[in-house]
Chains A and B, each alone.
Chain A
Amino acid sequence: MSALADIATRFRAVAPACDYWTVRCIRQRSESLSVTRGVIDPVGLGDDLGVMVTVRANGAFGYAATSDVTAAGLARAGAEARAWAQRTAGRAIAAPIPAHGTPAHYDHEAPAAQSWASVSRADKIVRLSHLAAALKTDDRIANWQAGVSFTDVESVIATSHDDFIRQRYSLIVPELEASASDGGETQTRTFGRGGNIRQGGLEVLDEIGFWSTGPRISAEALELLGAPDCPTRTMDLLLAPDQMYIQIHESIGHPLELDRILGDERNYAGTSFVTLDMFGSYQYGASMLNVTFDPSLFGEAASYAFDDDATKAERAYLIRGGILERPLGGAVSQARAGMQGVANARACSWNRPTIDRMANLNVEAGSSTFADMVAQVETGVWMQTNCSWSIDDSRNKFQFGCERGRLIKNGQLGAVVKNPNYRGISATFWRNLKALGDASTVRVHGTPTCGKGEPNQAIHVGHATPPGLFAAVEVFGGG
């Protein structure tokens, strides 16, 4: 029996008298390696272990999280959670007890083709040092860094309905940065600022070309120093997958979170321009737009079999043929709204309660090659790698900035431009989608730090997407 399963068993023995309880045990063991400006940074290890107990009593829910996983600590957490339920009974938003069906029993460890431990720490640092050195190609490179963080995540969820779910996977986040500076100006190119987060082991770094990317990133940072600003005008906009993913995240993912639509986030992360009556009929985007919640895609950052409320996770369309179908709402939100959702009740760790999160939210492939998309642009710009994001609290008016742009004229990629930015409105932007890349152009991205919730939570989510071409977008540069 794993240590976490043992903790869950210990809790069962001291669980308080109540209508229903869950215990969620999480252990995250992490290691970060990096080299900054030619110096190996000190190795950092992490071992974070704790439990979240949720209790329903007197018709209300309460929670208690603790890093004290001794029997006494677990008993205190159970009593504390029940006290909160009793204290707020009659004054809380109703949330039902999950249906008492066949108990879920599940135990799975996601495989890694090349485990983190299969290469010695010293060898990994040597390789990172070489990669970092490859970034320093010029005196004008003022800041350069290469690093990888690795986290082994194990969770056990047990409930008073005899559910037992154990899941284990590893997360890997590679990062590269080169900043070139000259004459009071600095331009930065990166390996996606965490946007290449994936599940898996060291094989991921080979698959995404991490080890060979240094010279390109450095050369592009230097190139941007001498590039003109992105022009200001309304034109076609072709977004690379490493920008598309954040566009999806902010202007599709967040607006479709059911707890936002139900108002839970109005004091912090915001509300949504989407309302409950839109599902089933609202034209969110062009007819080619298909968006799925897909926890089954191997290697994407938020793949799992059960969410943190012990609901089985399955692929589902959220937007099909451009029409809004269903929200990102877990079991509690579904019961509150009276509508179908998905298994996306998640918490960033043991010390936070579950809320509706994106998990893997993907734009399905279209039918265009990259060359096809460029060829159909008369005047436009190709933007790569997000560096700035901002959107209103209803998730409608947005503005994004990218690290690098290239002008497109008469179907041909042209000059590099710096400081490419664009702004628009979610409700119309996706309807102006002109083309989506085919399956060969799809890339898997994500973010390690999607922020939301009170108390605040930063969690990893995944986004697989092809490049996308949009018409009539307000584009501008710096200055």
Chain B
Amino acid sequence: MQDHFFTLSDAVAARLRGNEGFLATFRGEASQFVRFNTSSVRQPGTVEQRNFALELFDGKRHASASMTLTGAQNDDLARIDAALTSLREILAVTDEDPLFLINTTPQSSTRVLPHALPPPEAALDAILTSGAGQDLVGFYAAGPIHAGFANSFGQRNWDTVHAFSMDACFYLQADRAVKMDYAGTAWDRDAFTAKADAAKQQLAILARPARTVKPGGYRVYLSPAAMEEIMSMLCWGGFGLSDHRTATTPLIRMREDARLSPMVTISENIAGGLAAGFQGEGFVKPDCVTLIENGVYRDCLASPRSAAEFGAPQNGAEGFESPVALDMAAGSLPSADVLKSLGTGVYIGNLWYLNYSDRNACRMTGMTRFATFWVENGEIVAPINVMRFDDTIYRMLGSNLAALTAKRDVRLSTDTYEARSRRAMTLPGAIVDDFKLTL
């Protein structure tokens, strides 16, 4: 796909007229997808897609056209020619865009990460073997994901990762289940089996009679998976320059005097993630942008367009200005001491379906899901029936944050909306006091 993309980009360059220039981005994947229900295959298949986005500019007038590609050069050049015709028509009637900002200094790069993905038969065999005699439900995805960039200044970037993920759970009954995730770039059957076995062992606890806790404030442990849900909400407007400058960020109070716990440091750590290191206007992302440091808001993710609008430096963010490699600093609580530190309270394995109940207060609501347990004196006692929480970030990660774990999990996104995601988060678990459960 790399050669094809660069060949098409060269062809665009050869077709430019006058003062025209172009930006081109490529997104592609060849993915194996297998869905499982009741330890059987539900929908197995392959999705192969190539998407080419072409932005034509002339001075500060510009417009873009995205298109799928066949991979056959003549067919794809015909599509590009048609797109160029449409874009020239648009530029002819378009005003100059005062916010158009692109990288004009070529910064080419190539990264193809090493990998070891299993043949589909091997993955199927491992998964179905672990699911035998159980109610396994889940989704396996594997294959290469490609990203490319080219422009009329001669810049060429390419990035390929070969990754897999098995996002699954073992069900006991009704809504009672244990979640397991196994993802990476090198498949290890033994490691997968060990994860599956650990999940299955938790089913014995889920078999105990469930408790229903009353609404109120509880000391809780939020696993890294639960923290991922909270961080995903924060990523929705929490860190973008545009959101901050237009006062629409849910962290609006941090622009004034609100603080989180000094234990909280959050950054965009591109160097430690799977996301490509370049963006759609050709800028290279810095290795790290500190967003919150020791509880104090620091920098925003600034796309070139926002940077131009608000007079700030850009820092390689895409237009959506949301982290793709969020990194939360570790604390000091050893994993082995989590239950002891929790004492009596709720061990929350997963959260689900979060949304803001008051954006100004950065107050969010959501549900517990999967393995969530009542803990007494450092011992797991029983599963609890699902509960709704509704609390602010300033309490959860501020005044009520008791501890962060020393060990962090790398959470590779399993999102596949339109295409497989390359987002990742590195997160500790957290002990939180007086966590508000409401329904």
Interface residues of A (CB under 8 A from B): 37, 39-40, 42-50, 60-70, 72-73, 80-81, 84-85, 87-88, 91-93, 120-122, 142-143, 179, 181, 184-186, 188, 262-264, 266-268, 270-271, 351-353, 387-394, 397, 399, 401, 419, 421, 423, 425, 451, 454-458, 474, 477-479
Contact = CB atoms under 8 A, between A and B. Distances in A.
A92 B128 CA distance: 11
Query: Which of B42, B62, B75, B416 has the most A CB atoms < 10 Å from its CB?
Result: B42
B252 A455 contact: no
A50 B168 CA distance: 29
A327 B44 CA distance: 25
Contact of B49 (A351, A397, A479): A351
A239 B365 CA distance: 21
B316 interface: no
B43 A45 contact: no
Contacts of B100: 42
B120 A87 contact: yes
B93 A423 contact: no
B177 interface: yes
Contacts of B253: 184
B63 A179 contact: no
B202 interface: no
A355 to B, nearest CB: 8
Contact of B40 (A92, A120, A421): A92
Given A39-B99, A399-B390, A455-B33, A67 B120 contact: no
Contacts of A68: 48, 50, 70-72
A392 B367 contact: yes
Given A39-B99, A179-B247, A46 B67 contact: yes
Contacts of A93: 37-38, 40-42
Nearest to A55: B45
6 contacts: A67-B50, A87-B44, A87-B124, A91-B128, A266-B137, A353-B45
B365 A399 contact: yes
Nearest to A455: B416
Contact of B137 (A121, A263, A351): A263
B3 interface: no
B33 to A, nearest CB: 5
- Which 6 A-B pairs give the minimum distances between C-beta atoms? A63-B45, A478-B358, A455-B416, A454-B139, A143-B246, A181-B247
B73 to A, nearest CB: 11
Contact of B66 (A45, A62, A65): A45
A73 B70 contact: yes
A88 B124 contact: yes
B65 interface: yes
Contacts of B357: 388, 399, 401, 419, 421, 478
A352 B97 CA distance: 36
Interface stretch (B187-195, B291-299, B348-356): B348-356
A92 B42 CA distance: 6
B355 A388 contact: yes
Size class of B's contact patch?
35 or more
Query: Which of B83, B128, B246, B361 has the most A CB atoms < 10 Å from its CB?
Result: B246
A143 B171 contact: no
A68 B417 CA distance: 20
A450 to B, nearest CB: 11
Nearest to A81: B45
Contacts of B141: 455
Interface in B63-106: 63-72, 75, 79, 83, 86-87, 90, 93-95, 97-100
Contacts of A267: 36, 137-139, 167-169
Contacts of A419: 357-358, 360
A50 B93 CA distance: 31
Nearest to A423: B439
Nearest to B171: A266
B175 A393 contact: yes
Given A50-B68, A266-B137, A179 B42 contact: no
B233 to A, nearest CB: 10
A304 B69 CA distance: 28
A391 B43 contact: no
Contacts of B87: 45
Interface in B425-439: 438-439
Given A39-B97, A87-B121, A62 B169 contact: no
Contact of A44 (B64, B68, B138, B174): B64
Contacts of B46: 63-65, 80-81, 84
Contact of A39 (B34, B309, B361, B369): B309
Contacts of B361: 478-479
Nearest to B35: A454
B131 to A, nearest CB: 10
Nearest to B62: A42
Contacts of B352: 270, 392-393
B369 to A, nearest CB: 5
A231 B309 CA distance: 39
A421 B438 CA distance: 13
A8 to B, nearest CB: 16
B49 A67 contact: yes
A40 B36 CA distance: 46
B388 A397 contact: yes
A271 B367 contact: no
A473 to B, nearest CB: 12
A186 B299 CA distance: 21
A415 B94 CA distance: 45
Contact of B353 (A63, A80, A392): A392
Contacts of B365: 388, 390, 399
A456 B417 contact: yes
A263 B44 contact: no
B94 A43 contact: yes
A455 B145 CA distance: 15
A72 B418 CA distance: 24
